Structure 1
Amino acid sequence: MPNVDAIQTVSIYKLFVPLKEPFVISLGPIYHVQNIVVVIKTKNGITGFGECSPYMTINGESVDTCFIVGQYFAKVLKGKNALDIAACCTIMDKTIYANYSIKSAFDMALHDVAAQHANVPLYQFLGGKKDKILTTDMTVSIGIPEKMQQDAMQFKATGFPAIKVKLGEDLESDVARIKAIREGIGSAIPLRIDANQGWQTPDNAIAILNALAPYNIEHCEEPIARWRFMELSKVSAMSPIPIMADESCGDHHDAARLIALNACPMFNIKLGKTGGLLNAMKIVQLAATANMHLQIGGFMESRLGMTASAHLALSDGHIVHCDFDTPLMFTEDPVRDGILYKEKGVIEVPDVPGLGAAIKDEYLEKAEQVTIE
């Protein structure tokens, strides 16, 4: 088949789903999923799906900004070759700076189209293979120690192989939380912590990280304010717990900067920060060259967005952690096909051509939407 397939129509939908209970991090609580779904249809009859989950306090976007900016992209991409993903992404970058969340939804849909056109699963299109078993952790929201202990015990009983804990307040409160969790679940199951920048300064973070050292913590995400990335190397050098950059590692330019600074040994890649799979793969390549370990995470994507992340997780051996738990927090599942959550946190990735996931028609039909054709 010729390597050309023009974009014929682009549809943009708002997707709202309540959570089972509020998901709370140091930056604030989340009560409802407020996502954007992008559907690209091509002249040759291929339909690609993409999703983003804008996070106002992290990527500075909302469901409303994404809905509007997405229409800018739909207009400039109409008629362009959907199989030339790099060229389409360049057009989006030239249209507006940043806005990486909505760019990631378009990038995802374009990759879905291209992988279907190539008649291979997305992970294979990305150069990956099924040579490892993917497992997800499960996250405990920040709250009172007793509730966090109860949640952690439930997740352990369910069989998840690792538990992620949201922190980011003061030393006394955060140590009390981890102490309670360890008393509830024992010392064997891995604990991962995420401060979401909440400890602010290097000295404060170093003090808390040292206080948490006795509790066998696997790694800590984003301990200090993202704009203090120049000081992250100090935290890494003085922390007994390995540091993983999250908010401070948005796209591949951020990754290259952090590597040059020897800032930390690990990155957390999220498609909503990178602008999509194209840039995410650039981070993977940079990290692989630097022999760094990687985690693939997400915001509040449904199984659609998490399916793309799971395909990415199969692309390289340096990707060793997956944080794909947010769809398990939804009260409803709007996705057809896609990844499956098996026992003990195992993630089963589809082997059909493309992404292998779509939003169910009934959710699209009732959603606020716009189509550019």
Structure 2
Amino acid sequence: MFEAALYKVDQPMAISFSHAAFRRKNADSVVLLLQTSGITGIGECAPRKYVTGETSDAVLHAAAQVDLSFIYNRIFAASAKQVVKTMFENGTANYLGLPQSNSLECLFELAILDFLAQSEQCSVARLVADALNLTTLLIEETEYTFTHVLNFETDAKQLSAELSEVKVIKIKADRELKKTLSIIEAVRYQSGPVPLIIIDANMSWSIETTIQHIKALSQYNINFFEEPINKRNFIELAKLQKDFGISIMLDESLCYFSDAEEAVKLCACDAFNIRISKCGGLLKSIKFIQFARKHKLQYQIGVQVAEVGPLIAAERQLALLFKDFFTIESGQHDRFFPDMVITPVPEIDRNNHTVLIKPVTGLGVSKTSLLSQYTFAGCIG
């Protein structure tokens, strides 16, 4: 039988982070520990009400009702590879008897993948690759260039020449065109014409404001507009693409597989932002990536602001499974949190703008004593 513990991690951030949909000063994650036979699997979800409608309190309440004995029997009903294959094909929530919730599914799936991979003495990436017959797995120590993210509170005058080395820049845009222009002008002045630039409005612009921005920014070679208007307005997104020749990346509008199908049907986007928690776990994220590749869409591996550890490790395992994402977001945990609830801390090299992914067992992280300082939401079962 599993022993399980839930934590609500609302760790204060050393610096806040703002975008048009939310200003964040604290983490808002749920962490799950699943232990048996001397092995502890660790999982995390980062519920965001403005994305999937879920909250951490709702996830905690639902998790407390989960039948752990049923999950235990499912996990040990077959080999680790067969369990992963069945979760992928049938859905993790369906296989484990979980309520349908992207955050809850992600939380349990990551803990179980971590547990199973440790049991097999391999990485999560290796276990998943073998289970799903993926042939693209990178097994050596690997470096990826990450996206440099600027929020709309960035002081354009303080942007430094280090941007000259950055390959992908995401700008969290304001509703005010003047503010957006001041940042993009400074970025282009510092970085020149090379970087790929993403403007992310987090669903905050009206159609009129979007058109105003598109016209004003046309001279700056913007590669993607990410979620400029209200969520899942695929018809208008398709019209914006057709009328102005811009490229759209979906994020908040891409939480369920039906979203991907509808967006492609209506020709509403050119790229997906794949974030594990909002997509419902690592295995569903793989399905989104495979769908994007099938329909010749670009994709990035993204993060949610203020993830506290296991999700960061999971995103890096996902990156090992595929070679053709156009960028990966590193997160800013090194800036947000002086201490973390996991160890070792996933590395970020800000001098070279790269993340380093090393061979690990499981997700490659375990809890620290800091986790116990946050709300212990109880045991399950």
The answer, yes or no, to whether TM exceeds 0.5 is yes
Are the aligned partners of 2:74 and 2:96 in contact in 1 as well (CA < 8 Å)?
Answer: no
Aligned equivalents of 2:348 and 2:244: distance in 1? 34
Match of 2:287 in 1: 282
Q: Percent identity?
A: 25
TM-score (norm 1): 0.87
Q: 1:75 to 1:120 in 2, by over 3 A?
A: closer
Are the aligned partners of 1:101 and 1:271 in contact in 2 as well (CA < 8 Å)?
Answer: no
Single out whichever of 82-91 and 111-120 deviates more from structure 2: 82-91
The alpha carbon displacement at 1:78 in A equals: 4.6
Single out whichever of 71-80 and 299-308 deviates more from structure 2: 71-80
Q: 1:219 to 1:133 in 2, by over 3 A?
A: farther
Match of 1:16 in 2: 10
SS of alignment partner, residue 57 of structure 1: helix
Q: 1:214 to 1:63 in 2, by over 3 A?
A: same
Are the aligned partners of 1:291 and 1:318 in contact in 2 as well (CA < 8 Å)?
Answer: no
Q: 1:233 to 1:340 in 2, by over 3 A?
A: same
What are the within-5 Å matches in structure 2 for residues 154-169 of structure 1?
Answer: 156=163, 160-169=166-175
Aligned equivalents of 1:249 and 1:56: distance in 2? 14
Match of 2:359 in 1: 351
- 1:218-253 CA distances to partner (integer Å, 9 max, x unpaired)? 322111111312322222223444211111111223
The alpha carbon displacement at 1:66 in A equals: 2.1
Q: Which amino acid aligns with 2:152?
A: I
Paired residues, number: 359
The alpha carbon displacement at 1:275 in A equals: 0.9
What are the within-5 Å matches in structure 2 for residues 1-373 of structure 1?
Answer: 8-42=2-36, 44-73=37-66, 75=68, 77-82=70-75, 83=80, 84-85=83-84, 86=87, 89-91=92-94, 95-97=98-100, 99-127=101-129, 128-130=137-139, 133-143=143-153, 147-150=155-158, 152-153=159-160, 156=163, 160-201=166-207, 203-299=208-304, 300-334=306-340, 335-337=342-344, 339-342=346-349, 343-360=351-368, 362-369=369-376, 370-373=378-381
Are the aligned partners of 2:201 and 2:226 in contact in 1 as well (CA < 8 Å)?
Answer: yes
Q: 1:50 to 1:162 in 2, by over 3 A?
A: same
The alpha carbon displacement at 1:345 in A equals: 2.0
The alpha carbon displacement at 1:281 in A equals: 1.0
SS of alignment partner, residue 189 of structure 2: helix
Q: Which amino acid aligns with 1:50?
A: G
Q: Which amino acid aligns with 1:101?
A: S
The alpha carbon displacement at 1:40 in A equals: 1.2
Q: 1:126 to 1:110 in 2, by over 3 A?
A: same
TM-score (norm 2): 0.85
The alpha carbon displacement at 1:292 in A equals: 1.7
Higher-RCO chain (CA-CA 8 Å, sequence separation at least 6): 2
Are the aligned partners of 1:103 and 1:276 in contact in 2 as well (CA < 8 Å)?
Answer: yes
Q: 1:125 to 1:306 in 2, by over 3 A?
A: same
Aligned equivalents of 1:68 and 1:165: distance in 2? 35
The alpha carbon displacement at 1:320 in A equals: 2.0
Aligned equivalents of 1:281 and 1:188: distance in 2? 30
The answer for unaligned runs of 5 or more in structure 2 is 130-136
Match of 1:4 in 2: none
